[in-house]
Each structure stands twice: as structure tokens, then as C-alpha cells.
Chain A
Amino acid sequence: DTGVSQDPRHKITKRGQNVTFRCDPISEHNRLYWYRQTLGQGPEFLTYFQNEAQLEKSRLLSDRFSAERPKGSFSTLEIQRTEQGDSAMYLCASSLERVFYEQYFGPGTRLTVT
């Protein structure tokens, strides 16, 4: 396994458009996390899944954001009606439940909203 992958790596969109990002975790990892990282800041937690269940969401995750992990494998993060403030790096991480604190991060998707 080559680690956590994310697609696309870069996305430029116009304000008001919808975007969707994909994350493929390490295959045996049943926990999957989404973070947002703005320039000059550390990652901020958005949400996490255990298998297909979304167990926690940050208050940062407005109703324009939705995340799914339909079969407990890959996950998607959708942002509807994008705003310029959504411009950031979106990071995905995965871990095993029994070693939940050891998260392996993907390369991220850089979103630019124009």
C-alpha cells in the first residue's frame, strides 16, 4: 500500500460552484479524518468516520459541506456554493481504530476559489 491518496491535488473553481474531493485511505484503516489547512495555520479538524459512520463533525463544517464514506473505504468531501473563504488545503488522514492516535496523512487537495 502506498499510503493515503487524494484526488485532485489542485482544484480551481469559481465562487458559487460545487466541488468534490476524494480520499482513499490506507486499505486496512477503518478511521478516516478530514482537515482543513489555511495558509500559515495548522490543520483544523472537520470530521471523521469510523467505517461508514460519520461520528463527529466540527462546527467548522457548515451546512455547505458534506462528507460521505459509503462503503467504509474511500471518502468524499463536497463543498456546495463555494466561497472565497473556502480556499484552503483539504487534508485527509486515516488510522486503525486500535491505534487511533496514529494518523497517516494524504498529500492534500489545494482548493482555490476565484
Chain B
Amino acid sequence: AQTVTQSQPEMSVQEAETVTLSCTYDTSESDYYLFWYKQPPSRQMILVIRQEAYKQQNATENRFSVNFQKAAKSFSLKISDSQLGDAAMYFCAYFIGTGNQFYFGTGTSLTVIP
């Protein structure tokens, strides 16, 4: 079964601080993609960062970076210098080409404290 687990339903961080959101997944596939999506209160999902499973180097996008541990099937998101606009629900997801579908976690609600 394809599953994604986000063990932190809620997280909070002080503005300008760093926070890490956790994600683990389970798949028997060797070729897949991992994603973090952000869903602000307006509900439109926005892609934050992507990681190809075949790449060893961790992806970074400005203040967002991931720690991808393929053997452990772990994919955490680090947000540096947190801003008020980072407050949202964050979903971890992975995509396997053979199934052509995403599998999403249950999300982590991030609050940024001014």
C-alpha cells in the first residue's frame, strides 16, 4: 500500500525562526517524486518544493529545503526565516509514474507567531 504519514498535525514557529515539518512514506517503487505543497486558508494548493528520488542532493527553494533520506523513506521540510505568509496547511506527497497519481499525507497546520 502507498502511504504518506505526517505525524505532526499542528506546528508553530516564531517569525524569523526555523521550523521542520516531518514526513515519512511507504512505497515499493524505486522511481518516484516527492513534494511539499502549501495550502493557505484560501484553499488553493501551491507547490513548495520537489525532490526526485533518484537525486541524492537535497532540493532547496529559497527559504525552503528538504532532508531526503531514501533508505529511511523520510522527507522533511525545513522553513528558514519563517514569515507570516508561511502560515498554512502543508501536505507531503509523492507521485509514482506507473500509477500516475499523487498520494498525500494528512497535512501539518503551521502557525507563525509574530
Contact = CB atoms under 8 A, between A and B. Distances in A.
A107 B102 contact: no
Contact of B44 (A33, A44, A56, A107): A107
Contacts of A103: 47, 102
Interface in B20-66: 33, 35, 37, 42-47, 50
A43 B45 CA distance: 10
Nearest to B89: A42
B45 A105 contact: yes
A28 to B, nearest CB: 17
A43 B102 contact: yes
Q: How large is the interface on A (under 10, 10 to 19, 20 to 34, 35 or more residues)?
A: 20 to 34
A11 to B, nearest CB: 14
Interface residues of B, number: 24
A45 B43 contact: no
Interface in B55-84: none
Given A41-B106, A42-B93, A42-B105, A48 B100 contact: yes
A89 B44 CA distance: 11
A42 B91 contact: yes
A104 B47 contact: yes
Contacts of A17: none
A81 to B, nearest CB: 26
A66 B105 CA distance: 26
A40 B106 contact: yes
Contact of A100 (B43, B44, B45, B100): B100
24 contacts: A41-B106, A41-B107, A42-B4, A42-B104, A42-B106, A42-B107, A43-B45, A43-B102, A43-B104, A45-B101, A48-B100, A55-B100, A58-B101, A100-B100, A102-B50, A103-B102, A104-B47, A105-B37, A105-B44, A105-B45, A107-B42, A107-B43, A107-B44, A108-B43
Interface of A: 33, 35, 40-45, 48, 55-56, 58, 89, 91, 93, 100-108, 110
